Chains A and B, each alone.
Chain A
Amino acid sequence: MGAAQQAQDPARIHGLRPARGATPYFAILRKLGQPLWAAPLPNGWSDVAPDWAASDSVLGRIDFGYSHAARLPEADPLALADAALGPVLRPETVTAICRAGSRAEAVSLLFAAPEFQRR
């Protein structure tokens, strides 16, 4: 979609954007603190957990997980948890998933669980 078309899209004027088509992955990567082709020199991305555990970056990941969860088709959250984490899945996370008020909430809780974050 060209810039002129974008400017004419009524939804943009109202503060919304069409959600169809490609997900703006560059923007997501930037928001998650790892912009494409922008690794700090000379050491590259840190491989130490505390460097990725600042409050705002953890909350950023949680928000992304929540936004992404809502776009997944109605999958079984427990099956998804089992497939993603297997034996690492904690009973507390299973309980939280089972008590969730919707599938999107359940998948958000899975994405935000510490064992998923550290996987």
Chain B
Amino acid sequence: MEPLPLTRRTTLLGLSAAFALGRVRLALADAATQRRFVVVLLRGALDGLAAVAPYGDLNLAGLRAGLLSPEPGGGKNALLDLGGFYGLHPALPGLHAMYRAGEVLPVHAIAGPYRTRSHFEAQDLMQSGATETDATITSGWLNRVLLELPLGSDGSDAAGNGLAVGMGTPLLLRGQAFVDSYAPIGFATPSPDLYRRIAALNEPDPLLGPAIADGLTAQHFDEETLAAAGKAQRALHEGYGFSALATGAGKLLAAPAGPRIAAFQLEGWDTHGNQVALLRPPLSMLDAGLAALKTALGPAWGETVVLVITEFGRTARMNGTRGTDHGTATVAFLLGGAIAGGRVRSPIPLSAFVFSRDSDLRCPHLRSSRSKRA
């Protein structure tokens, strides 16, 4: 099947104006009713160099020796090779299988056109498509895409409604167009890391402190089990796990008259400390969820594009608490049966001009477009 005319520029670097005005909208509109587009928002800033590590880059070990997984072939927790220079994080075996099938296109060293280092502001800009100087846009770019989709011959909304899955409708899908919102029955539970911060906040309280600590121990949310892969696997099967949501949403998207556009939001990526242990559970969740989405979509996977994005990147250099701090560029993933993947799109070589003096991962494309304007 012919790949969708999604380009790195329109889809990823130009999430702002380019998405609403450029070729992506047309690609979706031309696709009429059979193509699906799913956005997965990673809230908290994914470390792109951990998810897709340029292990062939000689600068990497000097910047973050304490964070690196062994090179491909180096045992059970080694990187999964993406062709000799990049390696996928070992918690992403499902994504690796799809990559080998040519269905995943990681795009490295990319960033949105904003430079704020506030999660809240950057997540708003990533979803609204507004720029820092023009914050008047209050709808999400994906909602605006819905408004542009063609109507059926009977005047009905041929593409169906957008679908927000999980808790609440993200800004990405809010706006004029009607969006369905689905959530599992019952309460969601915070991630182990958020529970831990809540427990710390309550620690001085004589009643609430012990109550929360005991409760979390009973649920095995304590420090030792946090890093265990088994824990993440168990969480996957709970109602609000990404896998469960992705399965439900995938079946809805696969239905002949179902929605054609959906958005998920996943938290837990803000790894300022103890990154190696804290990043594994959310990556496992992402991996299993994407695989579940593919399974649930069935044949419709061949006409699906999934975009996985985060608000900004993290520093290349490891900080004093074995984590990384807010940075500029990161990695995004395009996947689906309609993607011409199986390769990593990135500036080559990634090092040298990409790593800045303060060891941030820069986005060369944005820098060059800026200097052109200047």
Contact = CB atoms under 8 A, between A and B. Distances in A.
Interface stretch (B24-32, B189-197, B335-343, B351-359): B189-197
B188 A10 contact: no
Contact of A17 (B184, B188, B197): B184
Contacts of A56: 215
B212 A103 contact: no
B211 A74 contact: no
Interface in B118-163: 119-120, 123-124
The binding surface of chain A is classed by DSSP as helix
Interface residues of B, number: 58
B211 A58 contact: yes
Interface string B200-216: 11101101110110111
Given A10-B251, A66-B194, A106-B120, A71 B168 contact: yes
Interface residues of A, number: 48
B252 A114 contact: no
B45 to A, nearest CB: 7
Most B CB atoms within 10 A — which of A15, A66, A102? A102
Contacts of B334: none
B168 A70 contact: yes
B248 A15 contact: yes
B43 interface: yes
Contacts of A101: 43-45, 119, 267-270
A81 interface: no
A113 B194 CA distance: 12
A59 interface: yes
Nearest to A20: B181
Nearest to A116: B201
Interface in A86-119: 92-93, 96, 99-106, 108-109, 112-114, 117-118
Given A19-B182, A62-B198, A63-B188, A55 B211 contact: yes
Contact of A114 (B185, B195, B201, B267): B201
Interface of A: 10-11, 14-20, 31, 49-50, 53-56, 58-60, 62-64, 66-67, 70-72, 74, 76-77, 92-93, 96, 99-106, 108-109, 112-114, 117-118
Given A62-B212, A102-B120, 9 more contacts: A20-B180, A56-B215, A63-B187, A70-B167, A70-B168, A76-B120, A102-B44, A102-B123, A105-B44
